[in-house]
Structure 1
Amino acid sequence: MKKVLAVFCIVFGLLLQAQITDYQKVIDSINQKKWDSTAIDLDSLANPRIIDIRSIKKDSVKITNNVVIIPNNNDTSPLTPSSILTLPTLKRWFIFGQNSLVFNQSSFSNWYAGGNNNIGVIGKVNYNIVYKKNRHYLDNNIQLGYGFVSSTGQSTRKTDDYINIMTNYGYELAQHYYLSTGFQFLSQFTAGYNYSNTPDPVFDDRVSKFMAPGYLNLGIGVSYNPNENFQVILRPLNGKFTFVLDEKLQFAGNYGLERDGQVMRAEVGTMLNILYKIKLFKDATYINQINFFSNYLQHSERVDINYSGSLNLKFNKYITTVVTIDMMYDHDQIQKLQRKQTLGIGITYNLGYKVERDSKTGVIKPFVN
């Protein structure tokens, strides 16, 4: 029986071997080659070779020159400590510039209702130059404006004229609170006239000119700036200096002068400045700025008030409508409310920010994510 079982196993094995076809042999050889190509050669690990793979940070930009300029987001709002100090860079210069040129023109020919041909131009420049490092910032603001209108039969008349230069140093004391100190200079470019009294004036009819008057404010205090839309500056110690460098205008009562021939009037008091920006909708922003000053030395109850409102309507990248209103009350100058309003549609071109690179690494993070 055992011999019969052994013979049966041998025969069965021969039958199984006969079932392996040539196709199966081809398949097995392919699988073997694939295994050999992917298998780890353990002997090769005895002498490893390191390959240098260069990598570039995804959020960094390598620059070769000293300065890079990146376009801004067309926001015309003033830069504030909050919008600067919350940025992650350690050292940076920011330059934001707005340049506006507004035209208005009227022409008449045989117009039954009447009219006078005229053309007017107003140019405005507004630049912020800000340095920020750690908790320190230095904000320099330059605002210049000049406008005129020329009408048939009349001399050219000035419609706008101002120089406003401000410098402010701040140090972050705590979250949203900053030590604040700086100065402001105000004046105008050319002589001004009262066209109601002198329709065709000459230089001797001037009522103002450069540094007549000129104003200089110096002070120290604190500021509160929780976000870019709201800022409060309080300076309990603030000096206000009024300059009148034109002998013809150095009479008592002019620009608060106390005696004839006085060149400068000095006041010491407290100053409060509030900035509040309202975004009406996507392309419309209204900026409110109001300033209060009270003189410690004389009549502290007579508070000087200066309000400025600006409505900016942006049609596209370059065409903008600007409506401004300025109101001022200074009891020492005139015991009436002074008011100025302008409306213009024109070309506005905004510059971007200038960023100083890190001198050690030459790498900066992008300004816009």
Structure 2
Amino acid sequence: MKIRLLSALLCLFSTTSFASAFYQTTIIPDTTRAGEDNAVQDSVETDVVTYWDEKNAVGLDFNEVAFVNWSSGGNNSVSALIHGDFERNYKKKLTNWKNSAVIRYGINAQEGREIRKTEDELVFSSSFGYRRDSTSNFYYSARMDFNTQFTNGYRYPETDIPISKFMAPGYLFLGVGAEFSHPEEDLTVYLSPITQKSTFVLDQRLANEGMFGVTPAVRDEDGNLIEEGESVRTEFGLQFTNRFSKEVFENVNLKHRLNLYSDYLNKFGNIDVDWQINVNLKVNDFIKANVGSQIRYDDDVKYKEDFDGDGELETTGPRLQFKQTLGVGVVYEF
């Protein structure tokens, strides 16, 4: 399942990358007469028009702390984060097709303990818009958003039983609506009154536990399994997305992404929130620093913790999730 899904995503993104290689050219013949034979010189290609815009950036952030006879104490540690951002955008007259992929994976190795995962993200987005005329900034739009993770997640220091895996969870949003795209600023606002949200938990143990909002397994009074939990949950609701990017100061770029979703049938008004803010500081063409934060809230994701110390995780209600990042590393754009 992992290989098929990843292959499908890679094929879809590769299609947009391959399509960007095709462009429209305007050929203007050179009719200058050369000599007495009035020969026509070869046609000269003078104009190349491409409707594709592509951006690629890959980077590596690295942090290291080492101690030798350090009187205050401390543990040696090494952290690394690899990340990539890819865009393939097509714009011609009345159509606008935007595609982006984001990958992030980080680890931390500290003396005296196992290697731990610090970051794990795979995100793919695609939106296609059509506007009525060339002066309008509003598009009739169809949009797809997908995100999951690469490897198992654990509640450290417990590493025997994973609490998340690849496609457990995985989220897929499919919707149609309207999008405003600013003609000069890197700003888009998207509203979809008809959006399908699918939550995938393709690990049966996690599905049986009802993790990430799927229907849990049915058991008898003795705990024997009667019916396995569902691995997919489907919802229909309202989605709002806002993205903005701007160089607020010289060599300081601000990126903002907000995604809000509310299900019509299940507690309409409870809003799932995914909000990211990143500030990129450019040192030179290759070295950059990044400060970021992310807030998540999903009413269907219940928090688990071992409150009584018996080794078993007890389930509580949803909680606000917060992540903060700071990194300095090498970034290569092409």
Give the drift of 1:137.
2.5
Q: 2:115 aligns with which of 144, 149, 156?
A: 156
Q: 2:198 aligns with which of 232, 241, 247?
A: 241
Give the drift of 1:237.
0.5
Matches within 5 A, 1:289-300: 289-300=257-268
Matched, 1:144 2:103: yes
Change in CA separation of 1:50 and 1:168 when aligned onto 2, cut-off 3 Å: same
Matched, 1:224 2:207: no
Q: Which amino acid aligns with 1:316?
A: N
The CA distance in 1 between the partners of 2:268 and 2:39, in whole Å, is 74
The CA distance in 2 between the partners of 1:51 and 1:312, in whole Å, is 60
Matched, 1:177 2:145: no
Contact 2:185/2:246 (CA < 8 Å) preserved in 1?
Answer: no
Matched, 1:93 2:52: yes
Give the drift of 1:131.
2.5
Q: 1:165 aligns with which of 124, 127, 139?
A: 124
Q: Which amino acid aligns with 2:233?
A: R
Give the drift of 1:255.
0.4
Q: 1:250 aligns with which of 196, 200, 207?
A: 207
SS in structure 2 of the partner of residue 255 of structure 1 = helix
The CA distance in 1 between the partners of 2:272 and 2:325, in whole Å, is 22
Matched, 1:215 2:176: no
Q: Which amino acid aligns with 1:295?
A: D
Give the drift of 1:253.
4.3
The CA distance in 1 between the partners of 2:43 and 2:247, in whole Å, is 39
Percent identity between the two aligned chains: 32
Change in CA separation of 1:209 and 1:324 when aligned onto 2, cut-off 3 Å: same
The CA distance in 1 between the partners of 2:148 and 2:37, in whole Å, is 69
Change in CA separation of 1:280 and 1:133 when aligned onto 2, cut-off 3 Å: closer
Q: 2:69 aligns with which of 110, 123, 127?
A: 110
How many equivalent pairs are there? 270
Matched, 1:271 2:249: no
Deviation by residue 1:312-364 (Cα, 9 ceiling, x = unmatched): 0001000000111110111111321101111100001111xxxxxxxxxxxxx
The CA distance in 1 between the partners of 2:320 and 2:292, in whole Å, is 16
Give the drift of 1:53.
10
Q: Which amino acid aligns with 1:237?
A: I
Name 2:299's counterpart in structure 1.
Answer: 331
Matched, 1:120 2:76: no
SS in structure 1 of the partner of residue 205 of structure 2 = helix
Name 1:349's counterpart in structure 2.
Answer: 332
SS in structure 2 of the partner of residue 298 of structure 1 = coil
The CA distance in 2 between the partners of 1:95 and 1:289, in whole Å, is 20
Give the drift of 1:254.
1.3
Q: Which amino acid aligns with 1:250?
A: A
Name 1:39's counterpart in structure 2.
Answer: none
Give the drift of 1:62.
6.2
Contact 1:101/1:124 (CA < 8 Å) preserved in 2?
Answer: yes
Q: Return 5+ residue gaps in structure 2 as ranges.
A: 1-35, 218-228, 303-317
Contact 1:253/1:333 (CA < 8 Å) preserved in 2?
Answer: no
Q: Which amino acid aligns with 2:101?
A: I
Name 1:308's counterpart in structure 2.
Answer: 276
Change in CA separation of 1:237 and 1:111 when aligned onto 2, cut-off 3 Å: same
Deviation by residue 1:285-336 (Cα, 9 ceiling, x = unmatched): 1111111101011111101111000100001000000111110111111321
Contact 1:290/1:306 (CA < 8 Å) preserved in 2?
Answer: yes
Q: Segments of 4+ in structure 1 off by > 4 A? A: 49-57, 60-63
Q: Which amino acid aligns with 2:322?
A: R
Contact 1:137/1:169 (CA < 8 Å) preserved in 2?
Answer: yes
Larger radius of gyration between Structure 1 and Structure 2: 1
Q: Which amino acid aligns with 2:137?
A: H
Contact 1:224/1:233 (CA < 8 Å) preserved in 2?
Answer: yes
